[in-house]
Amino acid sequence: MEWVKEFYSRTGTWWGPAEAKVGDRDHERAAKVRAHVGDGPLRVLELGSGYGTTAAVLAADGHTVTAVELTDRVRFQTPAERLTVVNEDFYTVRLGKEFDVVCYFNGFGVGSDADQRRLLARIAGEWLRPGGTALIDVSNPFVWQSWHGDEEHRRPDPEQGYAYELRERTTFDQVTCTATDTWWPVDQPDEAISQRLRCYSPADLTLLLEGTGLKLAGIDPAELRTEHEYLAVLRPATP
Ligand SMILES: C[S@@+](CC[C@H](N)C(=O)[O-])C[C@H]1O[C@@H](n2cnc3c(N)ncnc32)[C@H](O)[C@@H]1O
């Protein structure tokens, strides 16, 4: 997982000025929390919170939010009431608190299956209250596979905050069910950086969850047909 810090820090420098703004996606995520868990107010843990826009919306909705983010993407975070940002690694951070909801939006699947299990076991054993809910976006192999070999050219758009001219190449390895998403500035092809995301079908995810203390309680089949990630609703395996 050595690539993680550099990839999300560097891409944060490229995209943060444009993307560290609350948008529809943050409100849709807050609506999903309401739909699956209730109006609250809730104690919410958000893992891999990035620029913190979803955490900010959840806090504005009245929830008490702890957001854990590894990289300097936290520099884009707008402080808010009821929001605590912890700039640490979620594999090692000690929070000493329980939560009604643990969310990981857009990011699950980094590292090996054993790494995912380690994180899921921490969610079940340390952070989620009995009867709580974990909401995790899972990379969808059916859509990532369809993007295999795609290349994109992203031109700068300084008015929107995109200062860099970038290229992207996406590949999908069917044997390991892993997507590789590689980016480089057009004038620095030797500086390419990649994120690698293990994708899980719902059947794979069910196997992954065995022994972690969590079980799959629901997904939206429509997302699985069309989206590059689907929201897995997880609940404690034993009530
Ligand atoms: C794909 S980004 C998504 C960010 C945010 N959730 C969003 O949807 O905009 C994944 C985020 O997870 C963070 N992350 C990855 N591994 C982490 C770890 N071990 N501890 C804390 N944060 C981590 C990355 O730094 C990155 O900001």
Domains and CATH numbers, the chain: 3-139+199-236 (3.40.50.150), 143-196 (no CATH)
**Ligand 1 mean position, distance from CA 152 (Å):** 23
Helix axes of 113-122 and 202-209: crossing angle, nearest 10 degrees: 60
The mean of the pLDDT values for the chain is 97
Strand partners, 84: 66
Q: Is the CB of 90 under 6 A from ligand 1?
A: yes
Q: Between 183 and 2, whose confidence is greater?
A: 183
Q: Is the CB of 70 under 6 A from ligand 1?
A: yes
**Ligand 1 mean position, distance from CA 50 (Å):** 5
Q: For position 239, what pLDDT does the model report?
A: 58
Q: Is the CB of 67 under 6 A from ligand 1?
A: no
Q: Is the CB of 16 under 6 A from ligand 1?
A: no
Q: For position 227, what pLDDT does the model report?
A: 97
Residue in the block written with tokens 């059916």: 142
**Ligand 1 mean position, distance from CA 115 (Å):** 15
| Res. 238: pLDDT tops 90 | no
User: For the residues 168-180, what does the mean pLDDT come to?
Assistant: 98
Q: Is the CB of 91 under 6 A from ligand 1?
A: yes
Question: Sign (positive/negative) of CA torsion 117, 192, 18, 142?
Answer: negative
In this structure, the residue with its CA closest to atom 4 of ligand 1 is 50
Q: Using one digit for the tens of pLDDT, what is the confidence trace for 73-131?
A: 999 998 999 999 999 999 999 999 999 999 999 999 999 999 999 999 999 999 999 99
**Ligand 1 mean position, distance from CA 141 (Å):** 20
20, amino acid identity:
A
Is the CB of residue 65 less than 8 Å from the CB of residue 78?
no
In this structure, the residue with its CA closest to atom 9 of ligand 1 is 50
Torsions phi, psi for 164 (to 5 deg): -110, 150
Q: Is the CB of 106 under 6 A from ligand 1?
A: yes
Is the CB of residue 100 less than 8 Å from the CB of residue 131?
no
**With helix as H, strand as E and coil as C, how does 155-213 read?**
CCEHHHCECCCEEEEEEEECCCCEEEEEEEECCCHHHCEEEEEECCCHHHHHHHHCCCC
